Amino acid sequence: MVKTNSMMRIQRLACSAVLFMMGSATLAQESFNAYFTPDKKFLQLPVKNGAPKRNLEIWKDGVKVRFFDMELAEGAPDWYAYLDISEWKGKSIELRVDKLAKNAQAFHPIKQSDLDSNAGKLYAESLRGQFHFSPKHGWTNDPNGLVYYKGQYHLFFQHNPYGRGWGNMTWGHAVSKDMIHWKEVGDAIHPDGYGPMFSGSAVVDSANTSGLGKPGDPAMVMFFTGATCWCQGLAWTNDGVHFNKLDRAAVPRINRDNRDPKVFWYAPGKHWVMLFWVEREGGVHTQQFLRSDNLKDWTPTSIVKGGTGDDRYLFECPDFFELPVDGNPANKKWVLSAANTIYAIGRFDGQTFTPEAERLQGQFGRDYYAAQTINNEPTGRRIEIGWWRTHTDKGAMTFNQSMSIPQELKLVTTPEGIRMVRIPVKELEVLRGRKLLTGTRSLDDKAANPLQGVQEQLLEIQAVVEVGKSKELHFNLNGLDILYDVAAQEISADGVKARLPLVKGSLQLTIYVDRIGVEIFANNGLVFMPINKNLEGKELSVTVKGGKVRFTQLDVFALKSGWE
């Protein structure tokens, strides 16, 4: 249809009226682009928590090399995120923003920096866990690619570098010599044509089956889910610093939803095994198993079915490993778990997992999710780290969410059958500072509090207690009450409860206390109860009700920070 001048004038007036009603801020919004030459390590990105999200892109030589959205501050920022631009030093790149107010301060001028200019001392923030890993800035969730490579433990993690909320899924990267003192070393793999980089795993290709390394100098090979192609991608590094991606999917999409590849070497068959979650028809959760000789080409072998819909048994983020029972190398079983830690124990022949016991409870706490174990661990231990959904996006905090402490997994025989236990790794002892309490002691409901006057944020408690005829045992740890109900044989904290039977009349407890919550390991790891709660109190006490208890061990240590 041909438009007359009158019709066009009417449309312009109508459009102006709509924009006027939407507000003057809408009138001022426009796209923004600018060219600049990097001469420092980072591009400063001003963040305003809760601001409308803007889409940002970095282009080089006509190719989009980074893209993300963020709560962009157009005025004074709450904090700065940092985009590493060092690989483009001395070369012209373009910054594009989809919407920006004409009078916005953001990128007027573009600011570069070699240092973090956020206020306050990094890692000393009030809600920063002091021995639980969290990123310098931004959001984190699932641990990814836990592996020991070239003398260091590598922790990759789901990371939003540009905001405290979930999004822009990138693999963050931290390294450690001891799993306790972590150093964040920058993001490893970024969103691209595959899509955002969802969760996965990493292996060391010691035999160079992939050809991506050299004899005696193996590559670390990483597997991720591309959240646009919904395929399983492959990346690798030859030094733990620089990363490359295969130019095709290692495993194309199988079904509508499939993700989170776990890969390991199956020594008896001399081949690689991959498994990942696939949602099948009717909403059935399954774990798809595949095999490969070279890490690049994969053949499906078997499927293990889990729950359906809201029954999330074997739903996303699988882990799979073999453990000796009661430490006996002649009696080993395989453990299959997924994001909510409910697990199965059974047999595996390199292609098919046959469960012998299913739907076993892996933890009894709150907001512990998507745990993964470390591949190529040099001492042969099976060590797990989980995503701990802590509440750290408060006030001036520039980061959100944490990881658990590392814990060794073992299989033990119990009256109910074979079960998995979790034991805090011995390396945590390096954090021990002043011993606040030690030895044996008896307490009744009239006894003085043995921790009276002690004020410490970071604690390790090792206790073995004969409960006798008492009714209740309480630990008050900086405002969190942990109760053991003797009659019910139940432990509870902040509304979370777990069955905890006495063993020959005794109870064993290991408790780690941080600013962001506690992790309780009871009866030598049979019960693991993480409680995420920001602890702002300063009271420490041990009290008894209804009788007398005898502590055959009550050791309390003040802990040092794990941040260096």
Residues identified as active-site: 142
- ω into residue 109 within 30 of 0, thus cis? yes
Other beta carbons within 10 Å of 482: 22
**Which strands sit side by side in the sheet containing 112-113, from one edge to the other?**
79-84, 42-47, 112-113
Nearest C-alpha neighbor of 267 from the set 201, 213, 202, 321: 321
Distance of CA 364 to the CA centre of its chain: 18
Could you tell me which residues come within 8 angstroms of residue 188 by beta carbon, excluding any fewer than 6 positions away? 156, 171, 172, 173, 222, 235, 237, 243
Q: Three-state DSSP class for 374?
A: coil
3-state secondary structure of 191: coil
* Best CA proximity match to 120, nearest among 159, 79, 163, 161: 79
DSSP 478: T
Q: Which residues pair with 273 in a beta bridge?
A: 264, 291
Contacts of 12 (CB under 8 A, 6+ apart): none
- Enumerate the β-bridge partners of residue 304: 287
Separation CA 152–CA 308 (nearest Å): 39
Q: What's the distance, CA 176 to chain centroid?
A: 16
Q: Angle CA(410)–CA(506)–CA(545) in degrees, nearest 5?
A: 130
Instruction: Report how far residue 182's alpha carbon sits from residue 150's, in angstroms, rounded to the nearest whole number.
Output: 16
For residues 47 and 398, what is the distance between their CA atoms, to the nearest angstrom?
Answer: 9
If phi over 0 gives left and psi between -120 and 50 gives alpha, with beta otherwise, what is residue 395? left
Instruction: Compute the distance between CA of residue 199 and CA of residue 167 in angstroms, rounded to an integer.
Output: 13
